Structures are given as C-alpha cells and as structure tokens.
Amino acid sequence: MLNENEWKVMRKHAEIGARVISSDPDLADVGEAVLFHHERWDGTGYPKGLREKEIPIAARIIALADSYDTMINQSTYRRPISKEEAIAEIRRNKGTQFDPKLAEAFIKKVLNGS
C-alpha cells in the first residue's frame, strides 16, 4: 500500500504526463486525454473534478483500459485479480467511476476477446 505522500506524488502523474505529451506537436491533442484519465463519471476524480460528458471521451476510454490493466496485473499497491473479478468491479463502478455506456461496451469487448 502507498502512504499519503506516495499517493500525492502518484496523483501528479496525469498532469506530468499531459505536460510531456503536449510538448510534442504530433501528440498535443492527446494531452487532454492523459490529463483527465483519472476523472470519474460522478465528479469525484482528479485533477479537476470533471463529471460525465465534461470528461473527454478519450480520457473515459483510457480510464477503463488503465483500471482494467491495473486490476489484472501486479502493481506496487495491489495484488492482481482475475479477469472475471475485474469485469465485476467495472460493472459495480459504472455510473460512478466509469461512463456506463462505455463500461458496457468495454466489458463486451473483453468478454468477446476483441
């Protein structure tokens, strides 16, 4: 588990990543998606507390993929869970953490192996 200071540092990665990506003219339009990929559908995310359609669609897609990847793979702050458990977690959090329509589309793609 991460301590409070480690969480503060980790939460800055979206802003740092967006700044780095936006400095490349070929990737500048991706910076907003990187910056907002920790926003939550219900407005409780960071860095700006955006909600629902205020969150760029690319950021909502990255949030799903990033969360799923973090859940099924080993990380510093949590043990991996099965793909089935990860799908159940995404399902539980659609409408709060995730865009409900995108979450269902993502789940269908994962279940179909696409």
- Phi-psi category of 43—alpha, beta or left, where left has phi over 0 and alpha has psi -120 to 50? left
pLDDT recorded at residue 114: 62
pLDDT value at position 90? 98
| Cβ–Cβ under 8 Å, residues 43 and 49 | yes
When divided into structural domains, the chain yields a total of: 1
DSSP 21: H
**Distance (Å, rounded) from C-alpha 36 to C-alpha 40?**
9
Residue with tokens 């799903």: 64
Predicted TM-score (pTM) of the model is 0.87
User: What was the pLDDT predicted at 29?
Assistant: 83
**Domain ranges, residue 66:** 4-111
Q: Rounded to an integer, what is the distance from CA 32 to the centroid of its chain?
A: 13
CATH code: domain of residue 92: 1.10.3210.10
Per-residue pLDDT of the chain (114 residues; tens, 9 = 90+): 778 887 777 778 888 888 899 899 888 889 999 999 999 999 999 999 999 999 999 999 999 999 999 999 987 778 999 999 999 999 999 999 999 999 999 999 999 986
